[in-house]
Amino acid sequence: MTDLQWFLAIGGAAAGTYVLRAAPFLWIPLRDVGRRYVDFLTYVSFAIAAGIVSKALLLDGGRLVFGMDTCIKFIGLAVALGFYRWIRNIPLALFVGAGSAVLIRWLIN
Amino acid sequence: MSADVKRGIKAGGGVAPTFVAIFIGVGIAAEVADLPPLASLLSTVAIFAAPAQFAMFDMAMQDHALLQVISVGVLVNLRFFVMSLTLANFFDEVPRARLTYWAQFVSASSYLVTFFQSRRDEPVDLFDFYRGVVVMTFTAAIVGTAIGVMIGAGLPALLAFGATLFLPIYFSLLLIGETKGRFEIAAVIIGLLFTPPLELLLPGWGLFVAAIGAGVIVTAAKR
């Protein structure tokens, strides 16, 4: 693609994406739809958060992976959850979990 | 700066490392697709959605028509509609002129972190909180893209591995703390189990389809 085509592609995708993002904020009838289906949207929100977790743990580059890295990710997650149960501090548990996974991977390699 | 914006910035800090890592990938992919560096940064500023950017770069390399590249970029982002629909419930009192600007920064993270905050008993201005989260995520995206463009494929593998762990661990911690009752647990289980296979079947759509499916099934079961 030429530079001009790239800028057109980015502009077009950005405009379309902005409409999707902004319509529920700016168009009042859509706000009413959101209010009416608040239960549905709550469950969708939980499922999206859960899906992001399982996708990050099990998929890599669009492929299902069950290698050493997957085990290390699960260990990091378990450490973070265990630590959170103990200290109830999300940022600290986050860094301890991710840090322990990095440490294990560094030691193995 | 209000206390709630600061609170949002702090909460957004939990996902910022993953944002940097993901957008380093965007910067690298943009280099591979031969985008001008300015266009790489512009794509993050204007689209601010890594999956769509990856899809567009990939299609452009396969010589698809301009309209197809644009269509894919928009369709991959359909999920933002549902996210904004949810957020709109929290921003009822906010003037539309302000929302016109801040709507641009809806992402899975800014939406979910704000959503989980809405479920806590603390009295928080959710719009200020959302803006705080956006300050972190958007900055992280720009920084990540710039690094990706500069270093190409030279990022140490260990660093990349560690950075990508922040997002799943952070959302796991939020889910553990916030999921209440059997219907929400059911939605979480459906999301956990069905997203990977659906993502394999429908690349780029699995997360969205699994979440909508979970919403439909659990809402129907509740009624």
Can you tell me the ipTM of this complex? Answer: 0.86
Chain B nearest-CA distance from A38, in A, is 7
Cβ B199 vs Cβ B51: under 8 Å: no
pLDDT score recorded for residue A80: 94
Contacts of A14 in chain B (CB under 8 A): 43, 46-47
Q: What is the mean pLDDT of chain B?
A: 89
- A72-88 mean pLDDT: 92
Least confident piece of the model among A18-32, A42-56, B47-61, B185-199: B47-61
- Distance, in Å, from the CA atom of B43 to the CA atom of B52, rounded to the nearest integer, reads 10
pTM, rounded to two decimals: 0.80
- A49-75 mean pLDDT: 89
CA nearest to A43, candidates B116, B216, B174, B108: B216
- Residue ranges in chain B assigned as alpha helix (H): 3-12, 16-32, 37-46, 50-61, 66-75, 79-90, 96-102, 108-118, 126-151, 157-164, 166-178, 181-201, 206-222
User: By the CB < 8 Å criterion, does A103 face chain B?
Assistant: no
Structure confidence at residue B203 as a pLDDT band (50, 70, 90): confident
- A78-98 mean pLDDT: 88
Structure confidence at residue A74 as a pLDDT band (50, 70, 90): very high
Question: Is residue B155's pLDDT more than 70?
Answer: no
Q: Which of residues 59-98 of A touch B (CB under 8 A)?
A: 59, 62-64, 69, 73, 76-77, 80-81, 84, 90-91, 93-94, 97-98
Structure confidence at residue B201 as a pLDDT band (50, 70, 90): very high
Burial class (CB in 10 A: 0-12, 13-18, 19+), A86: exposed
Structure confidence at residue B153 as a pLDDT band (50, 70, 90): low
Specify the higher pLDDT residue, B185 or B57: B185
**What percent of chain A lies above the pLDDT cut of 90?**
50
B79-121 pLDDT, tens per residue? Answer: 899 889 999 989 988 998 899 999 999 998 899 999 999 988 7
Are the Cβ atoms of A80 and B203 closer than 8 angstroms?
Answer: no
pLDDT score recorded for residue B220: 95
Question: Is residue B9's pLDDT more than 90?
Answer: yes
Specify the higher pLDDT residue, B133 or A61: B133
**For the ranges A20-29, A33-42, B13-22, B181-190, the one whose mean pLDDT is highest:** B181-190
pLDDT score recorded for residue A30: 85
pLDDT score recorded for residue B205: 83
Question: Is residue B8's pLDDT more than 90?
Answer: yes
Q: Which residue has the tokens 């957020």?
A: B87
Contacts of B92 in chain A (CB under 8 A): 31
